[in-house]
Amino acid sequence: MGIEGDIAAEVWEGPESWHAALAALAWQADLGVTEVIGDRPVNAYVLPDKTKAAAATAPVARAEVMPVISAEARAAAEAGQAVAAAKAAAAAAGTVAELRAALEQFEHCELKKGARSLVFADGFPSARVLVLGEAPGREEDIVGKPFVGPAGVLLDRMFAAIGLARDAGERASGLYVTSVLPWRPPAQREPTPDEIAMLRPFVERHIALVDPDVIVAMGNAPCAMLLGAKGVLRLRGHWAEALGKPVRPMVSPAQVLRNPSAKRDAWADLLAIRARLGG
């Protein structure tokens, strides 16, 4: 049973509202009212689901004891784990072939998922000159070798002018080429600082295994990795040192193709490399 609307209005709007409400409650009790009717119907035969109620309160309890980890902190932790894994894998490689196998098994770099090929290296494996490029492009990703296509043809012509070649059969005239990233980055973008840090252990171990007399840092990313500085146009023309070896910053063949006026600077650097080798 319930209170009629006009009776309720009369009870609550009167001057003796409290006493009127108490009298109305007593009157309803005398009539046998046991339940108060609400705005929505209630099925008394349905028991409350205590499991859902407990589950609804559980996340609140966990949130009070579990620390909140930001996305930046989580990314930094993952990057640290990737670098540690790269250092361990690179250090375990005793030969160039083992280093390639270690890179093939390395699963911490997202670039690997979108690349077609592992672009490892090309040339004479113990050459006196090692060229370190930036990253594979479309042609390199298809072929699986660094510096192919028009840029690769120009690279071979440039170093052939000072007596060096990838297909040479001896150390003195050999040329070895590799790159900072072994997988093609999307949209031909430059390597990121995190990618450079992650792949650095492999590059350093690669250089140690080849043991060249001269390293050519061809582009901004190789300069950033080896010398900790960017701006190859500013750095070129001078010798630097990294990993105990002389480093010559130099513009890439792709940049020479885009800007033919850079040929003069490239030729000057090639002559400096030849002189450093004693040729």
Whether residues 81 and 213 fall in one domain: yes
Q: Residue 181 gets which letter from DSSP?
A: -
Q: What share of the chain is helix, strand, coil (3-state, %, to 5)?
A: 55, 10, 35
Classify residue 255: in a domain, yes or no. yes
For the chain, 279 residues long, the average pLDDT of each consecutive 10-residue run is 48 59 73 70 66 55 54 67 96 97 96 96 96 96 95 97 96 97 93 96 98 97 95 96 97 94 96 93
**Cα separation, 90 vs 262, whole angstroms:** 36
Tell me, what's the pLDDT at 28? 73
Is residue 167 within 8 Å of residue 48, measured between CB atoms? Answer: no
Does residue 153 sit in the same domain as residue 25?
no
Statement to judge: residues 3 and 97 lie in one domain: no
3-state secondary structure of 178: strand
Same domain, 150 and 253: yes
**12 and 135 assigned to the same domain:** no
Whether residues 4 and 79 fall in one domain: no
Asked if 175 contacts 132 with a C-beta cutoff of 8 angstroms, the reply is: no
> What range defines the domain where residue 212 resides?
72-277
Residue 57 lies in a domain: no
- Do 177 and 231 fall within a single domain? yes
pLDDT of residue 22: 74
Is there a domain that residue 64 lies in?
A: no
pTM over 0.75: no
CB 247 within 8 A of CB 238: no
Phi-psi region of 236 (alpha: psi -120 to 50; beta: other; left: phi over 0): beta
pLDDT value of position 20:
74
CATH code assigned at 196? 3.40.470.10
Q: Are the CB atoms for 235 and 223 separated by under 8 Å?
A: yes
Tell me whether residue 58 is in a domain.
no
Q: How many domains does the chain have?
A: 2
Determine, yes or no, domain membership for 84.
yes
Q: Is residue 222 part of a domain?
A: yes
For residue 279, the model assigns a pLDDT of 63
